[in-house]
Chain A
Amino acid sequence: MPVMLKSHTPVVLSNVTKRFGSTTAVRSVSWAPVRGQVTALVGLNGAGKSTLMRVMTGLIKPTEGSVSVAADEGRRPLSAMIENPALFTGLTVRRNLEIHRVLTGADRAEIGAIAELAQVGHVLRRRVSTLSQGYRQRVAIAVSLLRSPAVLLLDEPTNALDPEATMHLRSLIRRVADGGTAVVVSTHQLREMEGTADALTVLHEGRVLYDGPFESFVGSTTLRVRALGAEETRRLAELLQVEGIDAEWVAGGIRATPNEHADQTARRVFTTAARAGIDLVELSHLTPTLEEAFHAAISGARS
């Protein structure tokens, strides 16, 4: 009998560990994706993403800890598309959808709507074996959307999708989340999830390294400042510190870390340089990329 949970966390993992023989794939993970939110689950190969998803779906049982799934009135508790699309290749797309409709208890009318949503309406009569990998992926996504799941797990959903289909999928994921589903997307393509994901969970060697808002993971913008000549640059650095700006000498230039909006700090840098008669040759905003932030997090974990 599923445990009745708070409505905003339909699935809760409590101290979950999964071992396969001597290998620990997931270590003491306590985690709960939030309803109405898109969470990007990222990590290196072998970090434990797929294992974590399989534990959430009940396909594999945790060695320690527990998974609680809320019973949601009228909605399917959990749906997933894990690894390769698991479709009956000898049957048509419509038949595959119909089989899963019966399995999930969804209404007959949903098939047409879901097929249009996933852009497979025009291939309903085709056998799955005749479809490209990209279309099979779309059909698998359509299947996973039947009966409005409370939690939707998507494992590398953009594999084999063309750029247009990827864009469509991202907007679909957003719409599904806005409808109240907790969507978890496992991906290697960090950049793809920018603008789509609300939250980010970083897994490394089976542990959660980061679990929070997507924007917070990237880190704040800094300013890179250089004057005409090394001596002038050093003088400027000292003047900025007097002005209360966190400025440090880094690799031939100044890195100024704003404690206010970056543009305001930039104005103050410019004004300070102008007052001192220092000519600036560079004043630029530096925002770490998602990949840089990810690699920094992984490197930090390794050390």
Chain B
Amino acid sequence: MRTYRAELLRSVNRATGAFLLLCIALSVFSMVNAGPQHNTPLWGFRQAAIFVATLLMGRAATVTAGDFSTGTIRSWLISAPSRGPVLLGKLAATMSVALGFALVAGLSAYAVSSALGTVPAVTEVATATAQLGFACATLTLFGHSIGVLARSVPVALTVTLAWILPVEAVLDGRFHNSEQWLPGLVAHQITLGQLAPGSTPPTALTHAMLPFLVLEIAALAQFIRSDINS
């Protein structure tokens, strides 16, 4: 609990505020440009959702790997009797920030959509926000696990962005039902509210999150066992 609270306290800063504004700006831009494409602002919100989740993935990777490269991870470990709760507390806090971002983005979407003249149904906005929240949580998990494993900001950012952007795009279509299995792609489908043919919501949620969960467990195991030389 202490680690969770300390990590949340650390996250409350101007950089996080600026990052939040960036995510909102991205959503608003997409919503505003939906009209000329004969779509609703909420459609625009959904289009931008995966980019918001990707930005949060990058944030998670940067903050986590940065702790190792700057040595601030030492403070967490010296103050705690065991490592597992430290990592889980930091993960929980990072996830909380990501979900908080999704919530604020969802509320902004409702406000912006209304301001643009299209008042969406609350359930529609809530669904889109929840789907964004899921994608944010999933990709944050990915960013956090790679940050722990890589312990270097450039490496963590490269690996996460490379996987989500070009690698999955290359793999898509290379094997049977790839669009149902590639986690980033499935997360994108969830944010769009359009699952691949043959996919169901429970399987989509599982396929999106499970690989990253496995990665996080591997990261936890490595973190508990390895030396911290930074």
Binding site for B on A (CB under 8 A): 2, 54, 57-61, 76-80, 82-84, 86-91, 95, 98-100, 102-105, 143
Interface-side segment among B4-12, B194-202, B210-218: B4-12
Contacts A102-B2, A103-B2, A103-B3 given; does A57 touch B9 at CB 8 Å: no
Give chain A residues whose Cβ lies under 8 Å from the Cβ of B122: none
Contact indicator A100/B75 (Cβ below 8 Å): yes
B76 contacts A by Cβ under 8 Å: yes
Could you name 28 residue pairs across A and B whose Cβ atoms are closer than 8 Å? A54-B228, A57-B77, A59-B77, A59-B227, A59-B229, A76-B79, A77-B81, A78-B78, A79-B78, A79-B79, A82-B74, A86-B71, A86-B74, A87-B72, A88-B72, A90-B14, A90-B15, A91-B10, A91-B13, A95-B9, A95-B13, A98-B9, A100-B79, A102-B2, A102-B6, A103-B75, A103-B76, A104-B79
Q: Which of B29-79 contact A (CB under 8 A)?
A: 70-79
Q: How far is the CA of A235 from the CA of B159 in the complex (A)?
A: 83
Min CB distance, B73 to chain A, in Å? 8
Measured in the bound complex, the distance between the Cα atoms of B228 and A81 in whole Å is: 14
Separation of A272 and B123 alpha carbons in the complex (Å) = 108
B76: chain A residues within 8 A (beta carbon) = 103
Q: Which residue of A lies closest to B7 (CB)?
A: A99
A80 touches B72 (CB 8 A): no
Q: CA–CA, A60 to B83, complex, Å?
A: 12
Whether A60 and B13, one on each chain, are in contact in the complex, defined by CB atoms closer than 8 angstroms, is no
Asked if A84 meets B71 with Cβ closer than 8 Å, knowing A57-B77, A79-B78, A91-B13, the reply is yes
Query: What residue in chain A is nearest B227 (Cβ atoms)?
Result: A60
Question: Chain A contacts of B14 at CB under 8 A?
Answer: 90
Q: Is the CB of A2 within 8 A of B75?
A: no
Establish whether residues A99 and B228, one from each chain, have CB atoms under 8 Å apart when the complex forms.
no
Chain B positions within 8 Å of A105 at CB level: 2
Query: Considering the chains assembled together, what is the distance between the CA atoms of A60 and B81 in angstroms?
Result: 14
Closest to B14 in A: A90
Contacts of B75 in A (CB 8 A): 86, 100, 103, 143
12 additional A-B pairs beyond A61-B225, A103-B80, beta carbons within 8 Å, are: A54-B228, A54-B229, A57-B74, A59-B77, A78-B78, A86-B75, A88-B72, A90-B15, A95-B9, A100-B75, A103-B2, A104-B2
Closest approach, in angstroms, between the C-beta of B106 and any C-beta of chain A?
28
Residues of B within 8 A of A79 (CB): 78-79
Residues of chain B within 8 A (CB-CB) of A87 are 72
What is the distance, in angstroms, from A178's C-beta to the closest C-beta of chain B?
23
Given contacts A90-B15, A91-B13, A99-B10, whether A58 and B78 have CB atoms under 8 Å apart is yes
B228 in contact with A60 (CB, 8 Å): yes
CB-CB < 8 A to B73: which residues of A? 86
- Taking the closest CB of chain A, its distance from the CB of B24, in whole angstroms, is 21
Q: How far is the CA of A54 from the CA of B78 in the complex (A)?
A: 9
Which chain B positions have C-beta within 8 A of A143?
75
Shortest distance between the CB of A260 and any CB in chain B (Å): 49
Contact A86:B72 (CB < 8 A) given known A91-B13, A95-B9, A98-B9: yes
The residues of B that contact A61 with a CB separation of less than 8 Å are 225, 227
Q: Give, as a whole number of angstroms, the nearest-CB distance from A135 to chain B.
A: 17
List B residues 100-143 near A (Cβ within 8 Å): none
- Tell me, rounded to whole Å, the shortest Cβ–Cβ distance linking B224 to chain A: 10
Docked CA distance A135–B6 (Å): 23
For the complex, what is the distance from the CA of A86 to the CA of B71, rounded to whole Å?
Answer: 5
State the CA gap A59–B6 with chains docked (Å): 19
Alpha-carbon distance A210/B13, docked complex (angstroms): 48
In the complex, are the beta carbons of B78 and A57 less than 8 A apart? yes
User: Hey, which chain B residues are within 8 Å of A98, CB to CB?
Assistant: 9
B70, B79, B80, B227 interface centre (most CB from chain A within 10 Å)? B79
Partner of A58, one of B2, B70, B77: B77
Across the interface, which residues of B come within 8 angstroms of A76, CB to CB?
Answer: 79
* Contact assessment for A103 and B229 in the assembled complex, using a CB-CB cutoff below 8 Å: no
Q: Nearest chain B CB to A79's CB is how many angstroms away?
A: 7
Given the complex of chains A and B, what is the CA–CA distance between A83 and B77 in angstroms? 15
CB contacts (< 8 Å) of B9 on chain A: these are 95, 98-99, 102
Bound: A59/B14 CA distance, A: 31
Residues in B neighbouring A100, C-beta threshold 8 A: 6, 75, 79
**In the assembled complex, how far is the CB of residue B93 from the closest CB belonging to chain A, in whole angstroms?**
11
**Most chain-A Cβ atoms within 10 A of its Cβ — which of B72, B78, B80, B81?**
B78
In the bound complex, CA of A54 to CA of B3 (Å): 21
Which partner residue on chain A sits nearest B82 by CB separation?
A58
Which residues of A sit under 8 angstroms from B5, Cβ to Cβ? 102
Report the minimal beta-carbon distance from B119 to chain A, rounded to whole angstroms: 40
Q: In the complex, what residue of chain B is closest to A18 when comparing beta carbons?
A: B227
Is the pair A103, B72 in contact by a Cβ cutoff of 8 Å? no
The minimal Cβ–Cβ distance linking A3 to chain B, given in whole angstroms, is: 13
How far is the CB of B124 from the nearest CB of chain A, in Å?
A: 38
Give the residue name and chain of the B residue nearest to A69 (CB).
B81
